[in-house]
Amino acid sequence: EPEVTQTPSHQVTQMGQEVILRCVPISNHLYFYWYRQILGQKVEFLVSFYNNEISEKSEIFDDQFSVERPDGSNFTLKIRSTKLEDSAMYFCASEIRFTGELFFGEGSRLTVL
């Protein structure tokens, strides 16, 4: 069964460092998302991406964040200069069309020290 894959599963970084989280969405899907979940809290929307551009972003997704689909298969989230409060589980998701039936990856846990 097709699935969304994310790497790395866990990354530890120092405050101020750049981090890139990678995702391979399901191949025929057209909409891509990043969500995050701070430990023990709810899942929060970060950004949606369609037709090679950001379609919507939340207030969390400030200038420190960027997304890219560099090669037609990978979908990346970059955090330019990490802060302690960026520590969270980051989920990539995709869907074939707008239905809300998102297919989530298993997440990348980011720990900022």
Partner 1 sequence: AQKVTQAQTEISVVEKEDVTLDCVYETRDTTYYLFWYKQPPSGELVFLIRRNSFDEQNEISGRYSWNFQKSTSSFNFTITASQVVDSAVYFCALSEGETSGSRLTFGEGTQLTVNP
| Chain contacts with partner 1 (rule: CB under 8 A) | 31, 33, 35, 41-45, 48-50, 55-56, 58, 89, 91, 93, 95, 98-107
Q: Which is nearer to partner 1, 36 or 79 (CB)?
A: 36
Q: How far is the CB of 81 from partner 1 (least distance, A)?
A: 26
Q: Which is nearer to partner 1, 19 or 105 (CB)?
A: 105
**Two tokens at 73?**
């298969």
Q: How far is the CB of 10 from partner 1 (least distance, A)?
A: 11
Q: How far is the CB of 38 from partner 1 (least distance, A)?
A: 12
Distance CA 32, CA 95 (A): 7
Q: Which is nearer to partner 1, 33 or 75 (CB)?
A: 33
